[in-house]
Structure 1
Amino acid sequence: MGTWATAPQLVEPHNMPPPPGLAGNTLRQIVHVSLGGDRLRVRFSNEYGKTPMVLQAVHLAGAREGSAIDPATDRALTFGGQPSVTIPPGATVTSDPFDYSLRPLSNVAITIYFGEVPADLTGHPGSRTTSYLQEGNAVDAPEMPEAVTFERWYVINGIDVVAPEAAVVVTLGNSITDGRGSGTNKQNRWPDELARRLQADPRTRHVGVVNMGIGGNCVVRQCLGPSARERFARDVLHQPGARWVIVFEGINDIGGAEGGLEGALAMADSLIAAYRWMIDQAHARGLRIYGATLLPFEGAFYYTPEREQARQRVNEWIRTSGAFDAVIDLDAALRDPSNPARLHPDWDTGDHLHPNEAGHRRIAEAIDLTLFVDDAP
């Protein structure tokens, strides 16, 4: 079952690793899991690389403050019994399962000593979490005080736990789901906050959360990363243990709609068609799929009254069509009652598009946990 995952994308030039680069060096990346377990495996991706990627050695350990790990928890990963692995271009690899006492809602460090690295990197720029890059082989270093730091992930794709009674909710979205507006290293994106609520309720402690948000992503057209429709099978249907999916995406499609009112409403209809397709795909795989209404965005850089009409059309369809298995009305939860076309000031980062940290908590609190009880194993 998935306890943590991130959506791979081709890393843009301005998001590439800083000097000294990955090849021949060590990268430590921190991730926040949802479910606990006693046996793990870790996935790595070279999906967008055009040449092989060599992982000379990979370790996993409990994370402490900054770059520090708990050495007592440090484990060397193997791949087919070997300490190193070559990932072919366009491929992913999974480590051999290994024993590890993983606590729910804990932070773990994945440390990779790289060999050959392709020019085109697979990664996830919106980590909201500090990574540490040090020259040479420091794969088992207790800490990395001289490391170069940045907030991006590379190569890491997911962590799975052996948990036969567990199930997973996949959160599919754009920058809001990815964590824009949450706090760096605070692990308080709304999917993180949802995971905390699920773990706190005895009825839902078996439910993991994996975050498939990509900043700047769109549903029906190419924006940043593959479109939600294009990546639906990879990021939702093929997630280990997936039983539910929350679809919270479409505002970037609307924000980029051209052609005045006619073009904006045509985009709304295209989004609705894409949602119907996702619903069919999810149901064919036995998943329940929940639709989240799009947040208000008056005052944001791409707002127009015509695009607001498109948002209203999409939200009305989500609420009334009955096509989704349930509706999560985030628009109602976060809008300003005195001006429903705007985010409530208490939840707004100030750009009138992305919720702040309190807004991320508000999103999680607006989700009815019984949506994950009725279908419990």
Structure 2
Amino acid sequence: MRTTVGGTGLRVRLTNAFGDREVRFGHVYVGAALDAAPPSYVAEPRDTDGRTSAGRAGAALATGANRRLTFGGRAEVRLAPGATVLSDPLPGPVQARQRLAVSLYLRGGSGVLTGRNRATAPAYGQQAAVSPVYRSTPGDHAADEDGGAYTEEAAVWHWLDALIVAAPEPVSAVAVLGDSLTTGVGAETGHGWADLLAWGSGIAVVNEGVSGGKVLVAGTGRAAEERLTAEVLTKPGIDVVILAAGVNDLGAGARAEDLIAAHRRIVTAAHAAGVRVIGATVTPFAGAVFHSPDAERARQEVNAFVREDDAFDGLIDFDAALRDPAGPARLLPRHDSGDHLHPSAAGHRAMAAAVDLRSLRPNHPPAP
């Protein structure tokens, strides 16, 4: 993972939210990854047994930088089904935009896995991201630094829920509640619009995107309404939530009035917790596999609500930033990754540029 702001006393939060049995971690380590290590898409050198060795280089850590975490003073921690645990603070500083590797050694079976899908690697034929996930050969390799045991790449953060630091001064903490557009699908480098917000802004960005996620019902994981209270507002320091979701609901035939009602409930729940909500318009998706005339009409109705209603504390007009003026129901070609749904790298940059960073700062007045 890459931090957004720096601080001290790094803590790692693990979750077994969807597990059907207790999971037991014998060791958990966190270390500084080698930013200079080549991403796996640069080359795929092969070992004599035919396996790729690129991942092994990418999993390498800085020498002497891998440190063991404890939980209540113990190296081992057990997580019951549905449980969450926070590590003890790790002494020392953590830099802003620092790339860290969290290594987990699981003792015994896992049952149903809890994870964040497409957390690091864009799909749909795009290149792998710069921070893939690695699985090791059997055994306890959590303390390893050379990466040699990590032979398999993946695109899911299993059990890893958050990195938390104590910042040296007050910062804005912004959670982005969304779907695959928020995770960065379509951006060749893996830096989606939500991740780009943190570059040089001094804002702590919590990327709560889940590919396939929906607002009204469970898509991949919980529905956004439930995720807000169970996954987002439980994290410390959240000042603002950007709600950038709904395209998967519309593609599945959701009615505009139902989606609007859900948006209102999300805003109400956030406001009750003292958190502001910025509404984002739904981006064009004509040409995507689940687009239809009914879905387009519903999208326009939802976007009119986001733009014109006073429910939200601010607006991000992603629709206006990405649409093709010659055909507003579709993405501008240079903003289209190729599937007519997910923005390209240029599209993600345009989305990030559409965000008024001032609206994310503490004590910013509500939108008129």
Q: Does 1:83 align with 2:75?
A: yes
Give CA deviations for 1:48-96 in whole Å, capped at 9, x if unaligned: 1121111101111110120011123221101111111111121011111
SS at match of 2:239: strand
Name the structure 1 match of 2:351: 363
- Equivalents in 2 of 1:274, 1:72: separation in Å? 49
Match of 1:301 among 263, 267, 289: 289
Report deviation, 1:46. Answer: 1.1
Q: How does 1:71-110 map to 2 (within 5 A)?
A: 71-110=63-102
- Equivalents in 2 of 1:166, 1:314: separation in Å? 32
Unaligned 5+ segments in structure 1 are 1-30, 199-204, 258-263
User: 2:26–2:105: 8 Å Cα contact kept in structure 1?
Assistant: yes
Give CA deviations for 1:130-163 in whole Å, capped at 9, x if unaligned: 2222221222212223422222211111110012
Match of 1:316 among 295, 298, 304: 304
Q: Does 1:132 align with 2:134?
A: yes
TM value normalised by structure 2: 0.86
**Identity value in percent:** 39
SS at match of 1:32: coil
Q: In the alignment, residue 224 of structure 2 is paired with which amino acid? A: A
Q: Does 1:61 align with 2:65?
A: no
Stretch deviating more after TM superposition (129-138 or 300-309): 129-138
SS at match of 1:42: strand
TM value normalised by structure 1: 0.84
Q: In the alignment, residue 119 of structure 1 is paired with which amino acid? A: G
Give CA deviations for 1:218-272 in whole Å, capped at 9, x if unaligned: 1012222111012110222222100001001011111111xxxxxx5xx100010
Q: Does 1:219 align with 2:223?
A: no
Report deviation, 1:187. Answer: 4.3
Name the structure 2 match of 1:287: 275
**Structure 1 residues 69 and 151, CA gap change in structure 2 (3 angstroms):** same
Name the structure 2 match of 1:174: 179
SS at match of 2:176: strand
- Equivalents in 1 of 2:155, 2:311: separation in Å? 38
- Equivalents in 2 of 1:284, 1:374: separation in Å? 17
Q: How does 1:237-256 map to 2 (within 5 A)?
A: 237-256=233-252
Report deviation, 1:197. Answer: 4.4
- Equivalents in 1 of 2:155, 2:258: separation in Å? 34
- Equivalents in 1 of 2:326, 2:200: separation in Å? 29
User: 1:32–1:187: 8 Å Cα contact kept in structure 2?
Assistant: no
Query: For this pair of structures, how many residues does the alignment match?
Result: 329
- Equivalents in 2 of 1:374, 1:58: separation in Å? 34
- Equivalents in 2 of 1:252, 1:145: separation in Å? 39
Structure with greater helix percent: 1
Unaligned 5+ segments in structure 2 are 38-57, 122-130
Q: In the alignment, residue 125 of structure 1 is paired with which amino acid? A: N
- Equivalents in 2 of 1:93, 1:349: separation in Å? 38
Stretch deviating more after TM superposition (142-151 or 312-321): 142-151
Name the structure 2 match of 1:34: 4
User: 1:52–1:116: 8 Å Cα contact kept in structure 2?
Assistant: no
Q: How does 1:102-121 map to 2 (within 5 A)?
A: 102-121=94-113
Q: In the alignment, residue 250 of structure 2 is paired with which amino acid? A: I
RMSD: 1.4
Name the structure 2 match of 1:232: 228
SS at match of 1:325: coil
- Equivalents in 2 of 1:166, 1:117: separation in Å? 40
Q: Does 1:152 align with 2:156?
A: yes
User: 1:293–1:331: 8 Å Cα contact kept in structure 2?
Assistant: yes
- Equivalents in 2 of 1:111, 1:280: separation in Å? 38
- Equivalents in 2 of 1:197, 1:341: separation in Å? 33
User: 1:61–1:71: 8 Å Cα contact kept in structure 2?
Assistant: no
User: 2:172–2:362: 8 Å Cα contact kept in structure 1?
Assistant: no
Report deviation, 1:297. Answer: 0.8
Match of 1:327 among 297, 315, 322: 315
- Equivalents in 1 of 2:294, 2:264: separation in Å? 23
- Equivalents in 2 of 1:88, 1:313: separation in Å? 43
Q: Does 1:191 align with 2:194?
A: yes
Q: In the alignment, residue 40 of structure 1 is paired with which amino acid? A: L
SS at match of 2:198: helix
Report deviation, 1:117. Answer: 2.9
Match of 1:209 among 180, 195, 205: 205
SS at match of 2:103: strand
User: 1:132–1:144: 8 Å Cα contact kept in structure 2?
Assistant: no
Stretch deviating more after TM superposition (71-80 or 271-280): 71-80
- Equivalents in 1 of 2:18, 2:83: separation in Å? 8
Q: In the alignment, residue 182 of structure 1 is paired with which amino acid? A: A
